[in-house]
Amino acid sequence: MINKKWIRVLPMAVVVFIVISPMAYGDLYWINLVESVSEPDFLPKNLPKQVREQMMKEFESTTETQKCYLTSYGFRTEAKDHIVIIEYDTMIMYQLNPLEKIYIKADMKAEMESMAAEMIEDSQITSTDETKKIAGYNCRKYIVTTMDTENEQWLSKEVEGYEEYKAISDKILQKNPEWEQMNMVGFSGKHGFPVKTVNNMMGTTLTTTLQKIEKRSLSKELFKVPAGYKSLETMMPMQ
């Protein structure tokens, strides 16, 4: 069964590709509001009512706060029941379950590179004339089409910390220009900071909206797996 928590994490996990070079700027901390609405279209139509209701519990609509921490050596995003840490030296992503004190890890660079060719061939980025003020920032709407799925990205260059965000993306895109053709326009930094994104994936619509952002000094401990956590020998998303 598709893990809904993993679907929520994926859009921000893509940030890994724009934050692997050291930078001479301050650290960033921001808060997003994440709204998830699910209408899975891959479930069999002839499922018994009781079975379908049980399976649908995995896809209940939710609203939660997401905290993000960005520095030259790591990225972290956390919500109530899951944490993701990405360390740049190894390009390993750790997904933590703080309730059960367990974690799994994945080689993000290898996994994303294996997807790159197919995504590039099937991706299209369209800038629109539609503008809107979101969270106090003037934003422009971009449409990203990947694998027959359209996603919205509302980007702004007015966001505090945008220069830091863009500086790292410029360095990595110089080495990997093909990544800009994937569904990462909002995370490349070229057109602005992603103030709002609307992603559609397997019947789930995930809307992420910036609430606040600030520059602050971040502790290196934020980007380490805490003591006492047990590693699971699996590369699959935890339940």
Look up residue 85 and give its two tokens.
Answer: 């840490």
At the fourth CATH level, the homologous superfamily of domain 4-231 is: Lipoprotein localisation LolA/LolB/LppX (2.50.20.10)
Q: What's the whole-model pTM score?
A: 0.75
Domain ranges of the chain: 4-231
- Give the pLDDT confidence of 165-217 residue by residue, as tens digits: 887 667 656 655 655 555 454 556 778 999 999 988 777 889 999 999 999 99
Phi/psi for 132 (5° steps) reads -160, 150
- Tens of pLDDT, residue by residue over 23-34, are 445 689 999 999
The most confident of 15-24, 89-98, 186-195, by mean pLDDT:
89-98
Q: Is the pLDDT at 133 greater than 60, yes or no?
A: yes
DSSP H helices, 36-96, are 49-56
- Could you give the CA distance from residue 84 to residue 82 in angstroms, rounded to a whole number? 7
Q: What SS3 class is residue 58?
A: helix
How far apart are the C-alpha atoms of 111 and 26, rounded to whole Å?
29
Q: Residue 156 forms beta bridges with which residues?
A: 193
Torsion, CA 199, CA 204, CA 209, CA 214, rounded to 10: -90
Return d(Cα 103, Cα 59) in angstroms, integer: 22
